Structure 1
Amino acid sequence: MERKKSCMSINARNMDRISSLPDCILHQILSFLDTRFAVQTAILSKRWQNVFDTTPFLNFSYNFSEIADPLDLSANPYNELYDRKRDGFSECISKVLDAQNGYDCKKIVIRCDLMLDSKFVNSVMSYAVRHKAQEIEIMAGCDDLDRIEFPESIYTSQSLEKLKLVGDEYNYMYVSRSMGFRFLKELRLHRVELSREGFSQEIFPDCPNLELLSLVACSLESTYYPFVLSAPKLKTLEMIFLLSEKSSLRPSTVEISAPMLSYIKYEGPDPMHLILGDCASSLEEIDIDIQDGFSNGNIREKWVIERLIQMLREFRNAKSVIISLNTLEVLSAIPSLLQGKESPFANLKNIQLKTSWPELVPGWSFLLKNSPNVKASIQGDLNKVLMSETQESFRGGNNS
């Protein structure tokens, strides 16, 4: 009997071993939980009662579509329920922030499928800056007449390093002015509309510490003006435009001044007119996916191919290339346009492609003309076709 009690005592100590961890470890554990569940840990024991009150990680999420289907409700009840849930979600966040007001935070995350009021979003950002947050992520929709005005303090915050804004599936998040962040290192904008109204030609002026910029399905509304990006420490640039979006939502020309830029990822219906300037020599890796299906005839095909060749020439110093099947299909559509032209790459060491279509040999051979020592990663029977038809291009090379 005594042995059984002893075993039970040992098991009890083992089960509560997590409570003996320091607060910083417990805070890290809570960071993986939604805040509504993290709050509930206070009932576990006295040890846990104050853990959440001092946590520097706040994660709020809500999915209205899980509880309400517009097909099940008439318009008025659905709208009333939506407004009630949105107001309740905002009020819940405000109460938690008020309760945490005496402590600094590291990261604030809000993810929902609700259209949040811009004043509320502004207040959350202001709170984050006051409490020295290092990361802010907000994913929500906004009314197109309700544009987000960032608090002035966010532009000069020395603690904030990462900012991510994401519009929801059906609504953009609307921003009404240029964004010059003095100390920000990472900026990710997904489904965000940067209206030309209220912006200078340079949408991201004065970002001396920015190292990563990601623009995914954003509306830049600058078709007739170049999109100018100047960031002396920028290393990674991602620009992804959806095939379904209107061409007016993306710029026709992008001018980049970033002498430390080493990686560019581009996806879009058309090749982009890029002017790299001083960053052409620092570029190490590119990832290109042109999704155009040539639905408008031969004139369109020729224009896209010539534009793609011009775009690739801006990447002439890249050592590693990831190229999609779509891109190679575009490049191979009119083989005569590639005859007599030099490959755009002079320093290529590695190229990756996944395809087994022999019809794509012209475009593939064109890319490798000036790079006899390139290491090419390919899939299927294309390797055999290349070895037989473009042996001269691979002479002395190391191909796999």
Structure 2
Amino acid sequence: MMVEDRLSSLPDELIHKILFCYDMKFAVQTCLLSSRWKLVWTSLPCLNFSSRQFHTLHKFSKFVTHVLSHRNHQIEVSTAKLRFHAGVNQDFVRKIAEYAFSHNVQQLTVFGPSSCRHVYPSCLFSSQSLKHFTFTCISYTRLLIATEAPLDFPSLTTLNLCNIILSSDVFSKCINLKNLTLEDFCVVDMEVFEIITPQLSNLKLIDGRCSNSINVIAPQLENLTVINCSIGYLSAPPRLSSFCYTFQLWPCRLVQFSNDRFHSLNKVTIYLSKSKDYPPVLYKEEDARMIINMLQHLHSVKYLTLDADSIECISSFPDLLSQHSSRFSNLICLTIDYSKKKDALTVTMSSEARNFFLEKSPSATFTMKLPKVHSRR
């Protein structure tokens, strides 16, 4: 009885998708197991190189050279992933980048260590075809991106940079950029760091540090997310529709807006969690003042969600709240999230806090999100 070989009958497109789940070394080895698959790896539109499977960078470089030289050069590269776990050689990276860019790569992901600012060649940051770029420096030392010219990606729509130091204009030539994520970043040597992106729609700032100001020059920006960032002042465009702010290590200086021009905010979510070393009950007036000042800039919001810690803090200073008249005239719904508060039933919202939010919007819906109750069987 003959057994049907279903794997050999699979179309190349499906085989490509299967092989891209693994690094290129595994893909080449797998193809050698079948005469039908023997040359399939040479037409892979997705290149996934990882140095983890090689004892030395020299062996890794030799393997990559072999793959690129024997690949079907008529096939364009849609996606490329490069992962370095040890050292990085400039000539080696340049060879891969130039090959991918010459074959109109659309998506490029690079993970690698960095110990100095000149590890990666400048050609890695310039492409006419690239649309999605993720660059992550997996090292205790951040990579310093301080090029004489901005990143040159005119077709880029999505950019993710992680573990970097920014010290110059970076984004102004990414004229079609719509989605930008900066994670574990630091801004140095600049009084004002400008994010100049005319088409930007979504911006995420995560675990960042900037002692001075960040000026977002992006007239199309609609969604802004700021998570655990220590930023002096933040200037965002008036078109902003959604703002999500999370800070898990306060009390410390929360973000302050350098303007009061938000006119069309639809949704705002603010979560402020105290440090574990902070007294469980005691709040400082300075903390409440910073929260109130932030909220004053967001008064045009329609749907506002706050966590229990924020409400508990400002409610502890009713006299301070009384000094500020309600400005939330567009409010449709106010939600207080008690779900992450272990002692949620002990949290109270003062009448002054309620008036601060609802006095100008008496018909607004007021809801509370409570912790889930787990029933015992």
**TM-score, normalization by structure 2:** 0.75
Partner residue of 2:330?
Answer: 346
Deviations 1:175-208 (A, max 9, x none): 23132421100010010222x2xx2xx3311322
Question: Once superposed, what is the RMSD of the aligned Cα atoms?
Answer: 3.5
From 171, 180, 188, the counterpart of 1:204: 171
Preserved CA contact (<8 Å) 1:269 1:291: no
Task: Tell which deviates more after alignment, 322-331 or 107-116.
Answer: 322-331
Gaps of 5+ in 2: 254-277, 373-377
Aligned residues: 333
1:166 counterpart residue number: 136
The correspondence of residues 1-400 of structure 1 with structure 2, limited to 5 A, is: 5=1, 9=2, 12-13=3-4, 16-63=5-52, 85-100=56-71, 102=73, 103-151=75-123, 155-157=126-128, 159-177=129-147, 178-194=150-166, 196=167, 199=168, 202-222=169-189, 224-241=190-207, 249-268=209-228, 270=230, 273-276=233-236, 279-281=237-239, 283-294=240-251, 305-320=288-303, 334=317, 336-341=319-324, 342=326, 346-347=330-331, 349=333, 351=335, 353=337, 354-356=339-341, 357=344, 358-359=346-347, 361=349, 365=354, 368-369=357-358, 372-374=363-365, 376=367, 378-380=369-371
* Distance change >3 Å, CA 264–CA 301, structure 1 → 2: farther
TM-superposition CA deviations, 1:96-138 (whole Å, max 9, x none): 2333261321111122432323443333322221111111111
Residue type matched to 1:346 in 2? N
Give the direction of change, closer, same or farther, for the CA distance of 1:307–1:38 in structure 2 (3 Å limit): same
Asked whether the equivalents of residues 24 and 47 of structure 2 are also in contact (C-alpha less than 8 Å), the reply is yes
Task: Go from structure 1 to structure 2 and tell me whether the alpha carbon gap of 1:33 and 1:345 turns closer, same or farther (over 3 Å shift).
Answer: farther
Structure 2 residue matching 1:237: 3-state secondary structure: strand
Task: Please state which structure has a larger fraction of its residues in helix.
Answer: 1
Q: Distance in 1 between matches of 2:211 and 2:114?
A: 23
CA contact (8 A) 1:208 1:231 kept: yes
| Identity score, percent | 22
Q: CA deviation at 1:147?
A: 4.5
Check 1:295–1:312 CA distance in 2 against 1; reply closer, same or farther (3 A cut). closer
Q: Which has the higher strand share?
A: 2
Contact kept in structure 1, 2:205 and 2:229, CA below 8 Å: no
Separation (CA, whole Å) in 2 of partners of 1:359 and 1:271: 29
| CA positional deviation for 1:335 | 5.1
**Structure 1-normalised TM-score?**
0.71
Residues 61-89 of structure 1: CA distance to partner in whole angstroms, max 9, x if unpaired?
Answer: 3449xxxxxxxxxxxxxxxxx9x623333
Q: Please give the secondary structure, in 2, of the residue aligned with 1:95.
A: helix
Instruction: Give the secondary-structure state (helix, strand or coil) at the position aligned to 2:188.
Output: coil
1:389 alignment counterpart:
none
- How far is the alpha carbon of 1:93 from its aligned partner? 2.8
